[in-house]
């Protein structure tokens, strides 16, 4: 038997796996797609949430067509016991973000989210979609009404569409967090807190005090809580 030949084949296989891992990190931000054996799967949602319209090339974006297959794979993979969602997003496509949030919330496995820089706009329901949520002390969350840009038809149906879309988002946030509906609507309508806009910016513990987020903490606390939820689930 030619051991050098076998060693060469093994080296080639390892190099191919490394190439796949590198490509996975580049495209998805984690190695879970090609390494299905880890106990905790990390799902990063970074930059702008990209939906039906492609973001400009210079914009850092999380594509919903990448996230959805990952969530389906996590649900079906018996080796994955829990999911850590890491958020640093400015928001983005409302329907895409809300769709991802609903899928995270419907996972049968324990989920923990952590807002590390910002969880703005549609990032709010993404943060509350997990079974338990954290925010770092310096991280921020911006709560504001949805808005549209570009060509808009100025008819009453457009207003009704925006109203119903806002109601869908509000219902989800109230359902998946401890905030009261009245408090959420107050934060949405508040004036003077944001430049040239209505809404509210919440920093660290403020997001916990109003009930949006469960706890202030960092990576250590988030992973510890997720491990606890996994042990309880088993």
Q: Catalytic site residues? A: 121, 144
Distance between CA 17 and CA 136 in Å, rounded? 34
Residue 77's SS3 state is coil
Residue whose tokens read 């509210």: 200
Residue matched to tokens 């990190």: 25
Closest CA to 168 of 151, 146, 152: 146
Distance between CA atoms of residues 112 and 145, nearest Å: 25
Number of H helices, E strands in the chain: 8, 10
Cβ atoms within 10 Å of 186's Cβ, excluding its own? 13
Task: Report the greatest alpha carbon distance in the chain.
Answer: 79
Contact (CB, 8 A) for 121 and 166: no
Helices (H), the chain: 3-28, 64-76, 94-105, 123-128, 156-176, 181-189, 205-209, 219-233
């Amino acid at each position: 038997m030619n051991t050098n030949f076998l060693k060469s084949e093994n080296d080639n296989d390892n190099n191919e796996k490394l190439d796949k891992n590198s490509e996975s990190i580049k495209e998805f931000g984690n190695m879970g797609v090609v390494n299905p054996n880890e106990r905790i799967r990390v799902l990063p949602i970074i930059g702008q949430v990209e939906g039906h319209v492609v973001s400009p090339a210079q914009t850092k974006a999380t594509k919903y067509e990448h996230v959805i297959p990952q969530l389906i794979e996590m649900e079906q993979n018996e080796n994955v016991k829990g999911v850590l969602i890491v958020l640093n997003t400015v928001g983005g496509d409302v329907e895409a973000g809300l769709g991802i949030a609903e899928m995270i919330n419907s996972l049968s496995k324990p989920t923990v989210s952590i807002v590390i820089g910002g969880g703005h706009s549609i990032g709010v329901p993404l943060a509350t979609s997990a079974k338990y949520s954290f925010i770092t002390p310096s991280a921020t969350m911006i709560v504001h009404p949805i808005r549209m840009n570009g060509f808009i038809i100025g008819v009453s149906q457009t207003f009704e569409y925006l109203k119903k879309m806002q109601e869908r988002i509000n219902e989800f946030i109230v359902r998946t967090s401890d905030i009261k509906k009245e408090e959420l609507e107050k934060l949405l309508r508040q004036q003077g807190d944001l430049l040239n806009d209505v809404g509210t910016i919440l920093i660290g513990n403020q997001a916990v005090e109003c009930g949006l987020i469960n706890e202030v903490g960092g990576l250590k606390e988030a992973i510890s809580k997720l491990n606890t939820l996994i042990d309880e689930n088993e």
